[in-house]
Amino acid sequence: MPTIHIHNKSGHPQTFEVHGFHDNKNITVPAHHTSTIAAGAHASGAIIALHHGHEGEQAEITFAGFGGNDFFDISNIVGAGGNITIQQVGEPSTRKGDPLFMEHLRSAWHKADHKTKESLKGSVFTDGKGHVERIGPIKDHPALEKFVRSFADGKTYIGVGAWNGSPGNASDNNQSSAAKGTKDSLITYSDGDATPDAHHHAPHTAHRPPQIHMIASETHAAPHKPEAHHGPGIDLHNRSGHECRYFFYDNYWNGNGTAGANFDHPLKSVHLHGHASAFVSLPKSFKGRVQRGQLIPATWVEFQLAASNDGHAHGDVSLEQGCDGAATIASTDGSGRHGGFEKDIIAHAPAKAVVHRQDGKKVLGSTMGNWMAGPNEAAAEWEMKEVGQRKAYIKGGTGTEDVASKNQRLRVDFF
């Protein structure tokens, strides 16, 4: 599996917020030190530098994405307070990011006229001497985006790019170009020049072949008889005409109405040919989801197999992290409970609701937002019209039917 190397060239410990890797736990890298994070093949996530508790520059990474290639970039959409670059280990030609972003920012600020500085109040933060310490989220301030483009256009993600139906800015879109193949990633942080040291490499881990991190994999090409299986689990049905691999993610943690979503370590995957089905045995403690593939945006079928209050299985369909097709969930205890939808709501969706995932697939954007982009309101409005909150979670809250099955087994169909 690939590894993320985070090298801190600065003279102080630097904390990074981590999404999609490292159990979604922050990591603090000591001064002049390199820390590593293991990443699953095909995993996606972000490493975000924190400055006095505020999110700043970030490295966004997808390993072995479309065509088996790595996709990564440096983004300043949520802010900046330091310098950062990213590249494949041993491949300087793949480097992205402005290694002197803050220096260029401070120079532009120094040259800016009074009117420009007034327009940036609340988004550019200075110390007592007037030196720029950090900037706030560019995505929330059009004037800040214009200012940053004056010195960093084409060097980092500045706007939101081609997302949520917007064509984006060509300079930002170019940041999404793929590297060749999949290798370890090197992130370099600095208060000064974030160009990687010439000697910094990790040949012993740089060229590993991609591996999917999973505990078990089952393949069933023919229909089965659910009653032949015993114990907690899912009766999984591929109702499409195409083969697909489905991934089961157990939450990292569960609380009172909250959960720590798992994006990088699937517990199990199951491959099904078109119109095939399989019984997927799972531990009774499972609380999480199943989805097509490993990428988001995607339709999530969320469930637990033995609730603490009644011992029954409970589940629902969620479109909060996107929609890559229809899905349903149903009880198997004879109670007739069911949720989700069978209709194709992507084909005729409005352009602003549609995004193209890393694998090139046309999907609907996240209604709640994540580290990649904010909420897609057009997608939420379309899903409310075509599906409705009763059948699937669209914007959180309440009103979605709870599908319960007292035998700790549920049926899930993907269309």
Burial level of 134, CB count in 10 A (0-12/13-18/19+)?
buried
Extended beta strands in 221-319, E state: 233-238, 244-250, 253-254, 259-260, 268-272, 277-281, 287-292, 300-304, 313-318
pLDDT tops 80 at residue 186: yes
- Round to whole Å and give the CA distance between 316 and 288: 11
More confident position, 180 or 249: 249
Confidence of residue 268 (pLDDT cuts 50, 70, 90): very high
Among left, alpha and beta (phi > 0; psi -120 to 50; other), residue 304 is: beta
Q: What pLDDT was estimated at residue 381?
A: 97
Per-residue pLDDT band for 222 (boundaries 50, 70, 90) equals: very low
- 3-state helix, strand, coil split of the chain in percent (to 5) is 15, 35, 50
Confidence (pLDDT) at 210: 27
pLDDT at 218: 40
70-97 exposure pattern, b = at least 16 Cβ within 10 A, e = fewer: bbbbbbbbbbbbbbbbbbbbebeebbbb
The 10s digit of each residue's pLDDT in 86-115 is: 999 988 889 999 999 999 999 999 999 999
Looking at residue 168, what is its pLDDT?
63
Give the three-state DSSP class for 88.
strand
Positive or negative CA dihedral for 90, 93, 94, 97? positive
Residue 15 forms beta bridges with which residues? 28
pLDDT range class, residue 144, cuts 50, 70, 90: very high
For 135-161, the three-class secondary structure string (H helix, E strand, C coil) is ECCHHHCHHHHHHHHHHHCCCCECCCC
The pLDDT of residue 199 is 55
Mean pLDDT of 286-301: 95
Q: pLDDT value at position 396?
A: 73
Strand 403-405 with 217-220, pairing: unpaired
**CA trace torsion 189, 193, 198, 202 (10° rounding):** 10
Look at residue 408 in the predicted model and tell me its pLDDT. Answer: 96
For residue 27, give the 3-state DSSP assignment.
strand
Note if the pTM is more than 0.75: no
> Is 47 in contact with 69 (CB distance < 8 Å)?
no
Compute the residue count for the chain. 415
Residue 400 has pLDDT above 80, yes or no: yes
CA gap 268, 281 in Å, rounded: 10
167 pLDDT more than 70: no
Task: Give the pLDDT band (50/70/90) at residue 201.
Answer: very low
